Amino acid sequence: MPLSDHEQRMLDQIESALYAEDPKFASSVRGGNLRAPSTRRRLQGAALFVLGLAMLVAGVVIRATWIGSFPILSVLGFIVMFGGVVFAITGPRVAGGRGSAPDDLTVARQKRAKGGGSFTSRMEDRFRKRFDN
């Protein structure tokens, strides 16, 4: 369900206030966008999953790979399986999308964030206006 116009404006205001108050944190949280995984990446992830599954089964069957009563090869196989699934379902990160130049929306948000005081003072003013009437 898409956001209403009011909700979208509020979200934009919160985001711009976050950028204004702590730009380093905001940029680290934003990171890059994840692209959809390619077919090649999915096949490589599936191959890792199958390899991990084989290691898991072999670790249970072959007692020489145990350390005491701990099946170390099976645990490694599970980790490889998990890594294969994560590799298959995630795509590579894209840093900026269209290069390093900011887009129009980012520039507009930065302009809005410069004026109007801190985020908390604006929210307090809004609260007072709403409940003082």
Mean pLDDT of 102-124: 61
Where do the domains of the chain lie? Answer: 34-132
Residue 55's CB is within 10 A of a number of other CB atoms, namely 20
What value does the mean pLDDT take over residues 90-106?
Answer: 56
pTM of the model: 0.48
User: Of 8, 96, 85, 28, whose CA–CA distance to 53 is shortest?
Assistant: 85
What percentage of the chain reaches a pLDDT higher than 90?
29
Q: CB under 8 Å to 68, separation ≥6 — which residues?
A: none
pLDDT digits (tens, 9 = 90+) for 69-92: 899 999 999 999 999 999 999 877
Of 69, 45, 46, the C-alpha closest to 59 is 69
Q: How confident is the model at residue 106 (pLDDT cuts 50, 70, 90)?
A: low
- Pick the more confident residue, 114 or 64: 64
The Cα-based distances of 30 to 9, 19, 27 in angstroms read 19, 10, 5
Q: Beta partners for 70?
A: 67
* pLDDT over 50 at 98, yes or no: no
Is residue 30 pLDDT above 90, yes or no?
A: no
